[in-house]
């Protein structure tokens, strides 16, 4: 079954304690992306990756890091979490290129993060 898997689904942490949210996809997609969802703001892109070792900032990258060492994995790293990073996070993936498959992003189930 085609899917994007995020772990953990729920996470409570304290300010300054480094954490990693994992994301894995089994569709051999080149493009992967992280979004955060906040009430009244919709989803905003944090970082994205066009392929292995190719990453770039989205609209709200401050306080986050990512890496893309393997095609299937795209972890989101919070080196020193702060309360304003309390949010619902989604990982997404899609195939790159033209045509009908372009931009059809598949989303994980989400990770709800609370930073105290």
Query: Beta 111-115 vs 10-13: how paired, if at all?
Result: parallel
Does position 90 interact with other proteins (CB under 8 A)? The reply is: yes
* Six-digit token string for 104: 């059809």
Distances (CA, A) of 50 to 33, 67, 85, 89, 104: 9, 12, 24, 19, 14
Contact stretch for other proteins (CB under 8 A) within 11-19, 29-37, 66-74, 75-83: 29-37
Which residue from 28, 82, 84, 103 is in contact with other proteins, where contact means CB under 8 A? 103
Binding residues (CB under 8 A) for other proteins: these are 4, 31, 33, 35, 40-45, 48, 50, 58, 90, 92, 94, 96, 100, 102-105, 107-110
């Amino acid at each position: 079954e085609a899917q994007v898997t995020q772990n953990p689904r729920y996470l409570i942490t304290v300010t300054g304690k480094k954490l990693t949210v994992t994301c894995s996809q089994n569709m051999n997609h080149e493009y992967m992306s992280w979004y955060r969802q906040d009430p009244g703001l919709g989803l905003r892109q944090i970082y994205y990756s066009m392929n292995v070792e190719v990453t770039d900032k989205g609209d709200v990258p401050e306080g986050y890091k990512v890496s893309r060492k393997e095609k299937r994995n795209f972890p989101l790293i919070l080196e020193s979490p702060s309360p304003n990073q309390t949010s619902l996070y989604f990982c997404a993936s899609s195939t790159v290129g033209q045509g009908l498959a372009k931009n059809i992003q598949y989303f994980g189930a989400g990770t709800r993060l609370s930073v105290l």
